[in-house]
Amino acid sequence: MEKIQHYFPELDNHQLWQLQRLGELYREWNQKINVISRKDIDHVYDHHILHSMAISRFVQFESDAEVLDLGTGGGLPGIPLAILFPETRFTLIDGTRKKITVVQEIVQELELKNVRALHQRAEEMKHKFDFVVCRAVASLDKLVNWSFPLLKKKQVHVVPNGLITLKGGNLKAEVKALGRGHFVDMEEVDAYFDDPYFAEKYIVYVQH
């Protein structure tokens, strides 16, 4: 939590409580269902929650904006972002029912009024969003195919509506596979958070 407080000094006491409690809940749930990699659960705040919050360095979500977390798993990056942007509406979806059940329990425990969690696939979603966010879900071409039909035409942010995903490693082949006609921006996470863990980890933005 120290690093989260260091990089986000503007957080109020309620947000700090929510983030602290989130890490505790992940530890508790991880003993029943593998929500976060068991070998990495001791680094839940730095490697998972803080990593999810990196998206806020790329775009500040507006009040009443709508964001879809596609393939949310245990609620990342959606829950930390929902804590950070309490006026923004977040929809978290995943095709695995037991993971969504965990997310729903966590959302209720944290009193997050701006989050709904649904057992649903992207292809079944009819609603439109300002942004689609995700973390280590699939290759960029698949994410684009799932995300772009779900984006609103109307823009309310400085950054145009699009896909924002957290990915790691060499992404040249994935970007190339998108073909021409896609605007791709890649930001290094360690430019925002000074930690060796974030080396070769990127915020990847693909514009609709």
Q: What are the C-alpha distances in Å from 54 to residues 97, 112, 160, 166, 188?
A: 27, 20, 18, 9, 10
Q: How far apart are CA 106 and CA 90, in angstroms?
A: 14
The per-residue pLDDT for 39 is 79
Superfamily, domain 2-207? Vaccinia Virus protein VP39 (3.40.50.150)
The per-residue pLDDT for 105 is 96
The per-residue pLDDT for 38 is 77
pLDDT average, residue stretch 106-126: 95
Which residue has better confidence, 35 or 184?
184
Q: How far apart are CA 44 and CA 79, in angstroms?
A: 13
What whole-number percentage of the chain has pLDDT above 90?
87
Write out pLDDT tens, residues 84-101. 999 999 999 999 999 999
For the chain, the structural domain boundaries read 2-207
